[in-house]
Chain A
C-alpha cells in the first residue's frame, strides 16, 4: 500500500509541464493555450502518480447515480434557461463530485494493511482474522475505511470497518469467518475501500497481500460420526479404561479434545484452555487407512466425489484425534504415504495436514492394492473404490454413492 512512484519519474512528470509552460510563454502563446497545456501536464502527472499507486476502482453508489443524473438535469436546465443561479447550483454539484474524488483518494493514500491469519484452522470452525490498518500520512487522518479480504479471487463476506485512523496511527480489528471445506486457501490481497466523504462513490484499491491458510479436516467427536465401527472403537476405548488414569501432565486444548479433561483452574489462570493428560500403561496401536484411489470412471471434479473425499478425510481426522487423545499409537496410511502419531500426540498436526491436502486419483491399474497387516486396521474409502484396496480390516467406513 505504501508503494510510492519512483521519485525520478514523478520529478520528470512535474518538470516537463513547467518547462512546457515556460516555453509556451516565451513563444508568446496566449494564456488560454498555456492553461490548456498546464491542465494536460497536471492531469498527466496525476495519472502517472495514480498508476504508480496501484489500481483504483471507482464505483457509483445509488446516491452517486442519482447525483450524476441530477447534475446532468441541472446542467440542461441551466443551459436551457440561461438562469445564472442554476449555473451556481450546477457548479456546486460538480464541486461535490470533484471534492468527493479528491477526499476519497486522500483517505486511501498512505494506508498500510497487515493481515494476521491463524496458522491452521479446521473446516466448519469459525476463526478470527486480524486486520491492522496503519495510516502512514503525517498530518491527515483517514475516515470511514472498509477492508475486505480476497480469497480465491472472491471477497469474503465480512468486512472490517475503521471509522477514523489518525495520522501516523494504527488500529486493529478482526473479522470472523469459516471455511466449510478442508484444503489450502489462497489469500490474494486486501481490498481497501471508502465511501467517504459523501457516499456518492466507492473508491477502492486492491493491495497485494498474498497469504495461504491450510484448513484442516473437520474434527468431530466419534460419537457423532456415522461410524458403524463405534462398537469396535468403543471396545478399544473400554479396554484402555481402567488401565491408566494416572496424571501425566498438562497441555493446550486441541479441537476435538474431551471437555471433561479440561483443567479449569489452570485454564482460568492462563486465560486459555489447558487439558489434563493421563499416563498410559502401555501403547496400543491402531492403523487408519484412507484409500486415495477411485475408479477411472468417477469424475473427480464432481461435487459428490469431492464431498465423499471430504467426508472420508473428516472421519479419518476425527479418528486420529480420538485415538491420540486416548494415547494410542496411530498410523495413518494415505495412499503411498504413511504417518505415525505417538502416544503423546506428536505427529498429529502433520497427519492432519496430509488429510487437508489429500486428493483422489484414478489408479493406473484396477487391481486391489494390499495394505499389509497391522493392529486394528480401519479402512476409509469411497464406496465405489472399496475393491481397490485389500487387507484384513477390522472395520471399513465407506463414503459416497
Chain B
C-alpha cells in the first residue's frame, strides 16, 4: 500500500477509535452519533485536489463559532461542562477531518482524538473503553510514527545534490506514493511496539499509588432504571422486564459452600402501602444513617453467633434506586472501596422497612460485601393463636394492615373463606399460599380488563398473573383477615457463570414476595408465586459467549475501574507471599531454598550475559566488514590520485597488476603505492583489520603520493 494511504488509514483508525470511545459512552444521542459517523465517513473523500477546500473555509468558521456559542449556552443553562466540551470537541474533530491539508492540521486531529480518549474516561467506563484503548494505543503508535516520517520527508526532501553542484528538487509526492516505504513488516513491528506501550501503561496503572483526592470530576456511568426498584411500584411492570437478560448484579461467594446455603432471595425494597394500583412506602424519606461498627454497617441482629454468616461479594451495576441487595436475611454490609475523600462521602442508610440504601457522589459500579444469615424459623410466633395475633397486629403494626379504600368486598369474603377456622397465623398464611398456588396460574401474558382494579381482575377475572400479582393478592387477602404483611421486591435466583465463578443476576430475575409480620422486628418470608414454566437451560454457543463477555466485564470493573489502594496493598502482599513461599519460608522460620536461589541467579545472569556474548561474537565480523569497505575506498582514492597524474588503471586489471604497472612505468612513489595495495589485499581478502590510526595514516600517504615529484 502507498505510504500516504497507510498514513491516512492509520489516522482514521486513531480518530475513529477515539470517536467510538466517546459515542459508546451514550451521552451523545443516537442522532448526534449517527451524524458524527456519517460525517467522518464522508470526510474520507473530502480532500484536495478533489475538493477546493479554501472555498468552504468561511462556512466552517461560521459553524465553529455557532458550536462555540452552543457550548457556552449549554454550560450556562445545563451546567454540564463535560458534555458541552465533549460535543464541541466532536465538532472540531469533524471540522478537522474535512479540512486536513497540512501537517499542522493532522497534528490538531491527533490532539483532538487524545482529548476525546481522555473525556471518554469519564463518559464511558464500560468494557468497550478498555478494548478501544488497546486499539487506540496500536493506532496511535502507527499514526505518530508515520506522521513523523511524513513530516520529516516534507521538511528534508527538498533538494537532492548529485555529481554537479546544482541541486534538483525532489518530488516529495513521489516518495509519499512509494509502496516500498511501509510494508506489512513495518506495521507488524510497530504493532509489537505498541504492545510495549500498552505493557508500560498497564505497569504504571498497577503501580501508581492510588491516593485520590476526589475533587472535580468523578467517573460516572448511566444508571439502569428498573421498574420495581423505585419509590413506587405500579402493579404489572415486572412482566415487562422478565425477559431482559441485562446483568444488574454479580455475586462472588468467597466460600464455595455458601452458594447453596441460603434460598436465593435477594431482598431489595419493601412496601407497606397499597392504593389499589401501586405499592408505596408510607414512611418514605424517614431513613436513618447506619453507624459503622468494626468496619461493617450492621443492619439487623449483627453479632448473633447462632448461625454461620454467608458472605457475598457483590458488584452492583449503577441503578437509579441506590439500594443494597443481599440474601435474606441481610445482617450487615461492608463497603470494600478504600477510604478516599470520594468514598468518605458515601453513606449507608436504612429505612423503616429495613431496606438498605447507599449514597455516593459517583456512578461507577458499586462493590460491597453483604453478610446474611439463615432466617430463624419462628415456630412459636407462627403457632400463636390467630385472635391474639390479630389484636397484637392491630396495636403494633397497623400500617401493615392497610387496605385500598375501594377494595372489592369479594376479596375479604374470599380471604375469610380461604382462611376459615385456621387456628394459628402460620396456618392462615399457609392456607392462603396454598390456595393461590393451586387455583391461579403463573403467566407473563396478562390480559388486563380495565373495568376492574388490578387485584380484582387477577383474582376473579383473569385468574393468571406473575409474582407481583401473587404477592399482592396474598398480602391483601391476609390483611383483610387482620394478618399484617408487606410486599418485598428483589431478585430470585441467578445464573452461575462458570467462566468467572460468580452468580450473575439479570433484570429478568426480578421477583416479588411477601414478608409476614410476626412481632416487632420479626418477619418471615413467604412466596406464594407458583413456579412458572421451567426456563430452558441455555447452553448454546451464543450463551457461552455472552457468559464469557459478562465475566470479562466483571473483571474489567473489578480490576480496572474499582482498582484501589487496598487492591494494590493486596497485590503486594500476595507477591510477598509468593516470594516467601518460593524461598521456602512459608512457615516463617525455614532457610531459603538454595536451589531456587541458584536457579534465579543463573536465570538473571543468563538474561544479561547471553546478549553480551552474542554482541561480542558479532563485533569482529562487523569490524572486518567495515575494514573491508574502508580498504576498497582507500584503493579508489589511490587510483584516483594516480589517474590525475596520468597513470590510469586499465579496465580488468587487478590491484596487484596495477601496482606492478605503476612500478614498470616508474610512477612517483610506486613502491609505497605497492605497499598500500598489499595492505589493501590483506584487509579486503585476508580477513585482516586495520590497526588503530592505520587507516588514517594510509589515507594521508595516498594524499602525499599525489604531490610526489616526478
Contact = CB atoms under 8 A, between A and B. Distances in A.
The number of chain B residues touching the other chain, given as a range, is: 35 or more
B121 A30 contact: no
A112 B214 contact: no
Given A18-B604, A79-B212, A163-B149, A99 B121 contact: no
Nearest to A31: B579
B572 interface: yes
B214 A199 contact: no
Interface in A143-186: 143-144, 146, 159, 161, 163-164, 168, 170, 173-176
A337 interface: no
Contact of B600 (A22, A88, A163): A22
Interface string B203-236: 1110010111111111100000000000000000
B601 A99 contact: no
Contacts of A226: none
B625 A168 contact: yes
Contacts of B340: 82
Contacts of A77: 216-217
Interface string A80-92: 1111111111111
- Main SS at interface, chain B: helix
B626 A112 contact: yes
Contacts of B151: 199
Interface in A51-108: 63, 70, 74, 77-92, 94-96, 98-99, 103
Given A18-B604, A90-B208, A161 B156 contact: yes
A22 B596 CA distance: 11
B148 interface: yes
Contacts of B667: none
Contacts of B629: 134, 170
Contacts of B212: 79-83
B560 A84 contact: yes
B561 interface: yes
Contact of B612 (A11, A82, A95): A11
B45 interface: no
Interface in B147-166: 147-149, 151-153, 156-157, 159-161, 165
A161 B148 CA distance: 13
Given A18-B608, A26-B592, A159-B156, A196 B148 contact: yes
B360 interface: no
A28 B583 contact: yes
B583 to A, nearest CB: 7
Interface stretch (B535-543, B614-622, B653-661): B614-622
A83 B579 CA distance: 31
Nearest to B637: A116
A203 to B, nearest CB: 13
Contacts of B576: 30-32
Contacts of A94: 200-201, 204
A25 interface: yes
A25 B560 contact: no
Interface string B129-170: 100010001000000110111011100110111000101000
B153 A163 contact: yes
B625 A26 contact: no
Contacts of A31: 575-576, 579
A70 B111 CA distance: 10
B204 A87 contact: yes
Contact of A14 (B156, B198, B564, B608): B608
Interface string B601-635: 10011001100100010110010011001000000
Nearest to B623: A2
A74 B118 contact: yes
Interface string A24-40: 01101011100000000
B32 interface: no
A15 interface: yes
Contacts of A96: 144, 197
Interface string B556-589: 0000111110000000100110010001010000
A74 B703 CA distance: 61
Contacts of A163: 149, 152-153, 181
Given A25-B600, A84-B560, A89 B197 contact: no
A89 B152 contact: no
Contact of B601 (A18, A136, A144, A173): A18
A91 to B, nearest CB: 3
B196 interface: yes
B605 A91 contact: no
A80 B214 contact: yes
A126 interface: yes
Greatest chain B CB density within 10 A among A28, A74, A81, A143 is at A81
A123 B590 CA distance: 82
A107 B546 CA distance: 46
A133 B612 CA distance: 25
Given A90-B204, A99-B197, A128-B161, A85 B148 contact: no
A88 B560 contact: yes
Contact of B605 (A18, A88, A90, A173): A18
A252 B619 CA distance: 44
B200 A86 contact: no
A397 B107 CA distance: 60
Contacts of B572: 32
B557 to A, nearest CB: 10
A136 B156 contact: no
A252 B585 CA distance: 87
B219 A83 contact: yes
B6 interface: no
A89 B604 contact: no
A22 to B, nearest CB: 4
A42 B389 CA distance: 79
Contacts of B196: 95, 99
Given A84-B219, A134-B629, 6 more contacts: A28-B583, A99-B193, A99-B196, A176-B159, A176-B161, A199-B152
23 contacts: A26-B592, A28-B583, A80-B214, A81-B212, A81-B213, A81-B214, A82-B218, A83-B212, A85-B560, A88-B205, A90-B204, A94-B201, A96-B144, A99-B193, A99-B200, A128-B161, A144-B148, A144-B152, A173-B160, A175-B161, A176-B165, A176-B167, A199-B148
